[in-house]
Amino acid sequence: MTPQLLAAATGIAPQRAAAWAPLLERALDEFGVRSPAAIAMLLAQVGHESGGFAHLQENLNYSVDSLLRLWPRRFDAAMARRYGRIDGQQRAVPSAIANIAYGGRMGNGPAASGDGWRYRGRGLIQITGRDNYASMQSRLGVPLLEQPDLLLQPPQAARSAVAFCRHVIPGFVAAAEARDLAACTRMVNGGLHGLADRQARWERALRALEV
C-alpha cells in the first residue's frame, strides 16, 4: 500500500496518504488481508466512517431531529430536546447522548454506568461498545478497556480497522469478494447509513486497485 495508491483509492490528500499508507500496509500484513477486493471494500468503509481518514472519534453533536430519527426507541421528544443541539439556542450534550444511545447494549452497562460514552466510536472504523473494545483488546494486545483513547493513536486506529473487518466480522472478506456492498455496510455500521457515499468510495477504490 503505497501513498500514491492510497491517495488514488481514497481521494485523500498526498500528505495524509503518506501518513496512513505505511500503517495500513503493516496492519493488512499483520492480519492477513491480501485480497484486492477486500482491501477496496475496507478502504471504502474506513473512508466513510472516518470522513476521509480525518476523524478518529465519533461526532455526537446531534440535533434534536437527528436523535429522534436515529434512535426513536432511545429518545422521546423531551429527552431529545434536553440533550440534542438546537441551532442558535443550545449545544448538544455528547456524553449524555452516547450513554443513552449505547447504554445496555454491545456489552455496555446501563446509561448511568457511563459505558456508552467510555466506549463510543473510535479509530478509523469507529469501534463502538464494550464488547468490541474487549475483542480489539485481545486482538491488538493493548489495554483498551482501561485506556480506550489508545484507539485515537494512528497505529492502533489502523490496526483496529483491519482486525475488526478480518476477525470480528469474519464474513466481511467473503462478502467483499462477492462485491456485496450492502452486506459489508451492515456488518460495519449495523444498517445502511451513508450507503451512497460508501458506494462512491468503493467504486473509486476498485478502479485504483484494478479489481
Q: Which of 178, 162, 208 is nearest to 42 (CA)?
A: 162
Confidence of residue 182 (pLDDT cuts 50, 70, 90): very high
Confidence of residue 191 (pLDDT cuts 50, 70, 90): confident
Q: Report the predicted TM-score, pTM, of the whole model to 2 decimal places.
A: 0.92
**Residue 122 near residue 149 (C-beta atoms within 8 A):** yes
C-alpha cell at position 78: 423531551
- What is the C-alpha radius of gyration for the chain, rounded to an integer number of angstroms? 17
For residue 63, the SS3 value is strand
Q: What is the pLDDT of residue 12?
A: 97
What is the average pLDDT across 165-176? 91
* pLDDT of 190 strictly over 90: no
For residue 122, the SS3 value is strand
> What pLDDT, in 10s, does the model give residues 26-74?
999 999 999 999 999 999 999 999 999 999 999 999 999 999 999 999 9
Q: Name the percent of the chain lying above pLDDT 90.
A: 94
- Residue 128 CA to residue 94 CA, distance in Å, equals 15
Q: Which of 120, 124, 121 is nearest to 19 (CA)?
A: 124
The DSSP secondary-structure symbol of 61 reads: -
